């Protein structure tokens, strides 16, 4: 018997007799009811991320069936395998802590199991980045199948979508504008279908980035989760995976040929032009980092200065993802951005981005997607800030912030942790005014909170009830892509790693100067050094298991909060041929 390197014969367990290894594997596969002929077909692995703890992936079983259909119709053998699924609101302390774990799970299962190509089904915030990180170094072709966004709901004539409207109504409730009955009634109207959050939050931003990178089929980022086109996209992903799996050894279109410095730059342009989530810069940095492609924050600023915001979606605009789908999808945005894009980048279809854009339909709804000559904003949605408070950078989503606060100076009101924030923020005796700067410490990657989406600090009730809607807030945390406000995030180094943020005290003056990209703490160098000398690192809440691995190896936000031992590993893990 001659061992083959394709299909089930890939990566055999070595018992010292490779022919026996293949025989044993086929015997076990036969126990699942496969006939002999189908076991010789190209194998397409399908990563199933359905989970009862992930409402955004409720429809994944249907997508899996559609992918299988596509694989079978193209003459391949679909084999479904489970991976970790991360449902954003069901994880403690935060889904972010488990993104790297999911990426490792995905990477190792692609590598360890015998498949010639893979379709990875992802959508909820951390799942697409985890899968792209995991796929980065795969030596087989990979196609991302995006789960798609939710449809909007309605209440008393008002259109609602998760979760910008969740925050808007909660803000009204805190300000006393609606009562307990009112907020209870809205609860069941905010998330009414399967799929990811309905606005340009992190999941939708990552969907757009995935398509812009060339890792998903064209036109698939914005298709609603429950639309029949989503099932057709799943079927087509399965069919295309078989085509890619059949390519000769050495010519296969693996992720490293698609995710390149040029396509990463395209993805950054798209992130900026869609007014995308701040989280996405961390995720894209981590994905690119796996391939040894750095994204310095000053590069983000340069691209941000040149790339206009073109789409009018919440949380910064008026529309929802289903409107982007009807307006023409991401292809329209890419067509507008064409002069700024690297058009030679390869995509999973085997076409370059430029070839893809040749075939884009002409239709566009200008209420949703604007032209380069008439943008929503002339510059990109995100900006990196540097200064004595953030030596390695911090991020502000300027498209979601109040421009009247862009040049401001205020007194720090410091909360040492999320527990401290929860205990004191609504204290009527809290010494705080509208022009103060709220500072949250110990909510970064290495903290016990593990970088939650807590940077959108609640406006203290006494100020909210007086009508205040926004104020400057600074932390090392993240912010939901569905949130808005003058919120400085991802401050690096973080407080738990001994960054200057750790030693800010009540009453210190802080300057935010967006035009100058500056975030300055008015404490002189000698005093800052003395404070840092006294500072003691907080204890992690657990000292064993995954938590230990996480705390010991997680990098700062400007490095994508990836694990240090996974960055720049391109090619390091390609398994030796054991045939
Ligand atoms: Fe899953 Fe928002 S909760 S995308």
Structure confidence by residue, pLDDT tens digits, 524-539: 999 999 999 999 988 8
Q: Is the CB of 196 under 6 A from ligand 1?
A: yes
356: confidence class by pLDDT, cuts 50, 70, 90: very high
Q: Is the CB of 146 under 6 A from ligand 1?
A: no
Rounded distance from Cα 196 to ligand 1 centre (Å): 5
pLDDT in tens, 449-493: 999 999 999 999 999 999 999 999 999 999 987 788 999 999 999
Instruction: Report whether 303 contacts 265 (CB < 8 A).
Output: yes
Q: Is the CB of 225 under 6 A from ligand 1?
A: no
Tell me how far apart the alpha carbons of residues 461 and 335 are, in angstroms, rounded to a whole number: 45
* Residue 165: per-residue pLDDT: 87
Residue with tokens 């076990």: 28
Task: Kindly tell me if the per-residue pLDDT of 575 is higher than 70.
Answer: no
Q: Ligand 1: which residue has its CA nearest to atom 3?
A: 88
Residues in a beta bridge with 239:
none
Instruction: Report whether 138 contacts 293 (CB < 8 A).
Output: no
Task: Kindly tell me if the per-residue pLDDT of 2 is higher than 60.
Answer: no
Q: Ligand 1: which residue has its CA nearest to atom 2?
A: 197
Rounded distance from Cα 58 to ligand 1 centre (Å): 12
Rounded distance from Cα 135 to ligand 1 centre (Å): 22
| Ligand 1 atom nearest residue 196's Cα | 4
Mean local confidence (pLDDT), 314-333: 95
Q: Is the CB of 91 under 6 A from ligand 1?
A: no
Q: Closest by alpha carbon to 559, among 270, 133, 257? A: 133
Residue with tokens 């160098």: 525
CA-to-CA dists, residue 142 to 237, 249, 514, angstroms: 10, 15, 40
Mean local confidence (pLDDT), 93-110: 97
Instruction: Report whether 432 contacts 467 (CB < 8 A).
Output: no
Conformation bin of residue 355: beta by default, left when phi > 0, alpha when psi is -120 to 50: alpha
Rounded distance from Cα 461 to ligand 1 centre (Å): 27
Sheet with 77-82: list strands edge to edge: 77-82, 43-48, 117-122, 142-146
Conformation bin of residue 571: beta by default, left when phi > 0, alpha when psi is -120 to 50: left
* Residue 576: per-residue pLDDT: 42
| Ligand 1 atom nearest residue 163's Cα | 2
Please report how the helices 279-290 and 96-112 are oriented relative to each other, as an axis angle in degrees rounded to 10.
30
Mean local confidence (pLDDT), 276-284: 95
Q: Ligand 1: which residue has its CA nearest to atom 1?
A: 124
Rounded distance from Cα 204 to ligand 1 centre (Å): 9
pLDDT in tens, 200-247: 999 999 999 999 999 999 999 999 999 999 999 999 999 999 999 999
CA angle 112, 113, 117 (to 5 degrees): 110
Q: How many helices (H) and strands (E) does the chain have?
A: 19, 14
Determine how many CB atoms are found less than 10 A away from the CB of residue 550: 20
Task: Kindly tell me if the per-residue pLDDT of 446 is higher than 80.
Answer: yes
pLDDT in tens, 25-63: 999 999 999 988 999 999 999 999 999 999 999 999 999
CA angle 28, 32, 37 (to 5 degrees): 85
Mean local confidence (pLDDT), 104-113: 97
Q: Is the CB of 125 under 6 A from ligand 1?
A: yes
* Residue 577: per-residue pLDDT: 41
* Residue 112: per-residue pLDDT: 96
Task: Kindly tell me if the per-residue pLDDT of 259 is higher than 80.
Answer: yes
* Residue 22: per-residue pLDDT: 94
Tell me how far apart the alpha carbons of residues 209 and 212 are, in angstroms, rounded to a whole number: 5
% of the chain at pLDDT higher than 70: 97
Q: Which two tokens stand for residue 283?
A: 């995720």
* Residue 225: per-residue pLDDT: 98
Rounded distance from Cα 221 to ligand 1 centre (Å): 15
Higher-pLDDT residue of 163 and 221 is 221
Pocket-testing residue among 150, 197, 453, 483, ligand 1, by greatest number of atoms within 8 A of Cβ: 197
* Residue 570: per-residue pLDDT: 55
Residue with tokens 């009508």: 467
Mean local confidence (pLDDT), 348-364: 94
Rounded distance from Cα 121 to ligand 1 centre (Å): 14
Tell me how far apart the alpha carbons of residues 508 and 433 are, in angstroms, rounded to a whole number: 14
Instruction: Report whether 373 contacts 304 (CB < 8 A).
Output: no
Q: Closest by alpha carbon to 135, among 161, 177, 104, 112? A: 104
């Amino acid at each position: 018997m001659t061992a083959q390197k394709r299909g089930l014969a890939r990566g055999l367990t070595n018992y010292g007799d490779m022919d026996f290894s293949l025989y044993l594997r086929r015997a076990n596969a036969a126990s699942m009811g496969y006939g002999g002929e189908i076991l010789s077909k190209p194998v397409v692995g399908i990563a199933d991320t359905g989970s009862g703890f992930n409402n955004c992936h409720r429809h994944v079983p249907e997508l899996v069936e559609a992918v299988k259909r596509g694989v079978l119709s193209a003459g391949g053998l679909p084999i479904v395998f489970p991976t970790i699924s991360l449902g954003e609101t069901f994880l403690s302390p935060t889904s972010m802590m488990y993104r790297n774990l999911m990426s490792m799970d995905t990477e190792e299962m692609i590598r360890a199991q015998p498949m010639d190509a893979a379709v990875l089904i992802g959508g909820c915030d951390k799942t697409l980045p985890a899968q792209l990180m995991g796929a980065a170094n795969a030596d087989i072709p990979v196609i991302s199948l995006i789960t798609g966004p939710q449809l909007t709901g309605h209440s008393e004539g008002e259109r609602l979508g998760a979760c910008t409207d969740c925050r808007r109504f909660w803000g009204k409730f805190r300000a006393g504008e609606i009562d307990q009955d009112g907020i209870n009634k809205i609860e069941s109207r905010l998330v009414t279908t399967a799929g990811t959050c309905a606005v340009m939050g992190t999941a939708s931003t990552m969907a757009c980035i995935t398509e812009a990178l060339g890792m998903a089929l064209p036109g698939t980022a914005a298709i609603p989760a429950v639309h029949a086109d989503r099932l057709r996209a799943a079927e087509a992903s399965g069919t295309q995976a078989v085509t890619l799996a059949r390519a000769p050894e050495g010519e296969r279109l693996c992720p490293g040929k698609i995710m390149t410095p040029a396509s990463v730059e395209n993805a950054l342009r798209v992130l900026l032009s869609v007014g995308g989530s701040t989280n996405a810069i961390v995720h894209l940095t981590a994905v690119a980092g796996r391939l040894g492609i750095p994204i310095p924050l000053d590069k983000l600023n340069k691209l941000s200065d040149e790339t206009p915001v073109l789409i009018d979606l919440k949380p910064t605009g008026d529309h929802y993802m289903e409107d982007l789908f009807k307006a023409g999808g991401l292809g329209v945005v890419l067509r507008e951005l064409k002069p700024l894009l690297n058009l030679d980048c390869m995509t999973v279809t085997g076409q370059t981005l430029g070839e893809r854009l040749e075939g884009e339909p002409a239709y566009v709804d200008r209420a949703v997607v604007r032209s380069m000559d008439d943008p929503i904003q002339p510059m990109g949605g995100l900006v990196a800030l540097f200064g004595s408070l953030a030596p390695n950078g911090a991020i502000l989503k300027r498209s979601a912030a109040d421009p009247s606060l862009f040049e401001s100076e205020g007194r720090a009101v410091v909360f040492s942790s999320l527990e401290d924030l929860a205990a004191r923020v609504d204290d009527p005796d809290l010494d705080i005014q509208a022009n103060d700067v709220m500072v949250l410490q110990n909510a970064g990657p290495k903290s016990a909170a593990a970088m939650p989406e807590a940077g959108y600090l609640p406006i203290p009730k006494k100020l909210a009830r007086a009508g205040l809607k926004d104020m400057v807030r600074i932390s090392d945390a993240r912010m939901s892509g569905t949130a808005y406000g003058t919120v400085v995030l991802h401050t690096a180094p973080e407080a738990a790693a001994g960054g200057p943020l750790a030693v800010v005290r009540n009453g210190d003056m802080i300057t935010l100067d967006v035009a100058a990209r500056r975030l300055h703490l008015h404490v002189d160098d000698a005093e800052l050094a003395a404070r840092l000398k006294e500072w003691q690192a907080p204890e992690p809440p657990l000292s064993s298991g995954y938590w230990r691995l996480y705390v010991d190896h997680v990098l700062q936000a400007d490095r994508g909060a990836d694990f240090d031992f996974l960055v720049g590993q391109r090619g390091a893990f390609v398994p030796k041929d054991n045939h």
